[in-house]
Amino acid sequence: MKTFTQLIEGCIHTPKTNEKINLIADYLASETHTNLPYAFHFLIGKNLGRFCQGKEMRRWCAELAQLPIWLIDETYDIIGDNSETISTILNQSTSSNIMSLSELCTEIKHRKKDSLPEKKKWIQETWKTMNTSEIYTFNKLLGGGLRIGATQKNVVKALSKHVNISPEIIEHRLMGDWSPTLENYKALTSTNVNGKKSVQPYPFYLASPIEKNVDAVIENLDDWIIEPKWDGIRAQLVKREQQCTLWSRGNELISESFPDILEQAKSIPNGVYDGELLAWKDNAPLPFNQLQTQLEQQCKDSEENQEELCFLLSTILSFVEKTNEKINLT
């Protein structure tokens, strides 16, 4: 916990991106293997969920510091951050806490279902063992709002520097559901880049505006491939080793919402397919609100006015089998 707190403090006070990446890389190289999954989890902006409400923590802080709650709330209104408010009020210079980051996180998850009085007692006792910086970090872990001023991409660059694996491979492995387990972290940092493929998608390539003068960039339309903007849900269909999944561009698994698409996908070759999920009727796409209505009816198992759902393929990102058969994803 002490080492992780020092990293957070260092990142907050380091404005330059490259220096921050080096700081994180050095930390990852020195941290114990049991702490690394949780540390990486928090550094990329994920959390363990909210442990309790911030106003409750301020009330417990007021009680511990023997100050009126109105004074704590006034301080919070000025500072604007719950964790910083409490750590500033308690303002302890010494620390006797010996819990590691992984031990503390395990305790947080274990105590999530405790009653409010039990949570209060544990948090107050833990605060007493920590210095100001540790209290700040601890509160951030409880509140689910730890920010270090570095994007996930920069944290991935730091990990890439530490384990000597390309950032692109790490980003691909991160796609899907990441949880802070030692097994997941080992898979994330494995140097075997040709191992078993998962059913995770590739990072989505998103459109971006042309920053320069359009006429200067697009001199001849014949040199360009222009795709229509479909009014649906951008998705990747991933089929590997008899498993099939459907992912949204927000990196969410949406397979359960489109069972008919997955059923049709059983007949296609293994690969990764990028496209658009659409409501379809009379050989033409329908407006997006029709797709939403269709999904709502599907959730209710209603057969009223159901239109056909389809996956309109735009790009084959990965393809491992040869076939002469027509691929049908409707």
Domain 214-319 has CATH 3.40.1710.10: no
pLDDT in tens, 317-328: 887 655 555 555
pLDDT at 302: 52
pLDDT digits (tens, 9 = 90+) for 36-88: 999 999 999 889 988 999 999 999 999 999 999 999 999 999 999 999 999 99
Q: pTM for this one? A: 0.67
pLDDT of residue 129: 93
pLDDT for res 306: 55
The predicted-structure confidence for 118-130, as pLDDT tens digits, reads as follows: 999 999 999 999 9
Token pair 């719950």 in the structure block, residue: 82
The predicted pLDDT at position 318 comes to 81
**What pLDDT is recorded for position 193?**
59
* pLDDT of res. 84: 93
Query: pLDDT tens-digit profile of 290-312?
Result: 888 877 766 555 555 456 888 88
Parts of the chain belonging to CATH 1.10.3260.10:
2-143
Q: What percent of the chain has pLDDT over 90?
A: 44
**pLDDT per residue over 216-258, tens digit each?**
888 888 888 888 888 899 999 988 877 888 888 887 778 888 8
Tell me if the domain spanning 2-143 has CATH number 1.10.3260.10: yes
Cα dihedral sign for 118, 124, 129, 135?
positive
Which of the two residues, 171 and 139, has the higher pLDDT score? 139
Start and end residues for every CATH 3.30.470.30 domain found in the chain: 214-319
